[in-house]
Amino acid sequence: MMNSSSSCKYILTSGRDDMTSTFMQQEKLVSINPSTKQVLAEFPLMNKVEIEESIAAAAAAQKNWRKVPAPVRGELLLKIAQLLEDRAEEWGLLVTTEVGKCLRDGVAEIHRSISFLRFFAGEGYRMTGETIPSRQAGVFAYTKQQPLGTVGVITPWNVPLAIPIWKMAPALVAGNSIVWKPAPQSLMISQKFMSLLEEAGVPKNVVTMLIADGPLVSETFAADEQIKAVTFTGSTRTGQTIHQVLAPRGVRFQAEMGGKNPFIIMPDADIKQACLDIVSGGLLDAGQRCTATSRIFVHDSIYETFRDHMIATLNNVTLGLPTDESSIIGPVVDQRQYDTIRSYVEIAKSEGATLIYGEDEPEEEWAQGGFFIKPKLFDHVTQQMTIANEEIFGPVLALIQFSDFEDCLKQSNAIEYGLSSTIYTRDIATAMKYTDEIESGLVHINMPSTYSEPHMPFGGIKATGIGGFREQGSHAIKFFTEWKTVYVRT
């Protein structure tokens, strides 16, 4: 299934802590345990020729794969799901080890991945077209969906299995082959998934994996006419750069990128539950989610009460080793992410925000070996500050006080992103107005900003999304197919 090139093999190494600031050393990538800074594995980088060979192999495999009936392609997804379910704890521990998710969250990602596979398996029976009455006598007209061909898939490290699966599953059931470029921080997970696909019986080279420099992959995708589409999840800057590279050839492109997601607390809100949902939506996975809550707008009539409840809630949030059952938050993924978050904290202070929780960092021995950051809560934040506009991708929350709901909506929308949002209120009219006017692809009423379900469309607007296609749900198939209209003289 994966190219047999030796450059795709990883080399297990003894645990060393001398690799903490970069994933690339000369001609290799390394995987690092974020809890200990130990090197877990090394991966030789592929060159341009090897990337081109992977694309050619996937394109050749697609010619037979597209002939397999869609329901049968879906049955293979069910086999993959069962293999994952049988080893969920093992997979969850690998996610914890390589990217630092708390173990319960690592296992939860495995089960979420299984749900995507089972949903998209059913899409094999729903690859339908239409029969449409012709206005011409003796003509039978209908439409059908067909696969694009070979597609590029570029995925991030923060959801290292579920995101690849929710992209690959609809692509596969639609009859496409895949050239996959995973993030360097999660290559052990990615390599293991390739082995799982082979075990499940996915034909050789229907999915190939690239361990390569990102810009080189993008340039090769752009130049190779065998790549019919590219789907990407990652930062806005990277997504826009890839889009520009692909645009001259008119490659179909889908991108899900950054978020700066608001959470509005109205005077009638259930404050206790709102605080719990902010922890769930803003701090799990150390805040490293594109849908994570980051801006908390609180009505001034309950501002102090809410702030006190939020601090009390944070006092019960345990930062610790991700394998400990008591830990709610583990480390951030690497040194670069750690330094980025710390720099945003200092910028916020310099611009006048007040850090009211999280000034002290953990000093225990277990924390010294990893990239651990205590959750931060800022007060006296305005929408003009950097902390309220730029995606931090870390456990940093900003409180913004408001008195007028209309003004709050304007501030919530006054950013470049439009992924997710939440409002807490018991008033249905307020909730519906918010739903209509908030500029985000996902809207939550009295729920965490990270909540989603596999059968519902997922995606953002504004600078969060490119391409107009949604992921997840039945909408996901649309990106990976093209429509053919057929006229038959009877």
Annotated catalytic residues are: 256
Phi, psi of 356 (to 5 degrees): -105, -5
Amino acid letter, 296 = I
Q: Output the six-digit token pair for 242.
A: 């890839």
Nearest to 230 by CA among 152, 170, 150, 149: 152
Cα 329-334-340 angle, rounded to 5 deg: 90
Report whether 155 contacts 207 (CB < 8 A): no
Q: Which residues contact 104 (CB under 8 A, 6 or more apart)?
A: 325
Per the CB < 8 A criterion, the answer to whether 362 and 319 are in contact is: yes
Q: Look at residue 301 and give its three-state secondary structure.
A: coil
The residue to which tokens 């082979």 are assigned: 198
Q: Which residue has the tokens 């870390």?
A: 394
Residues with Cβ within 8 Å of 91's Cβ and at least 6 positions away in sequence, in order, are 84, 106, 107, 110, 161, 192
Positive or negative, the CA dihedral 231, 235, 237, 238 is negative
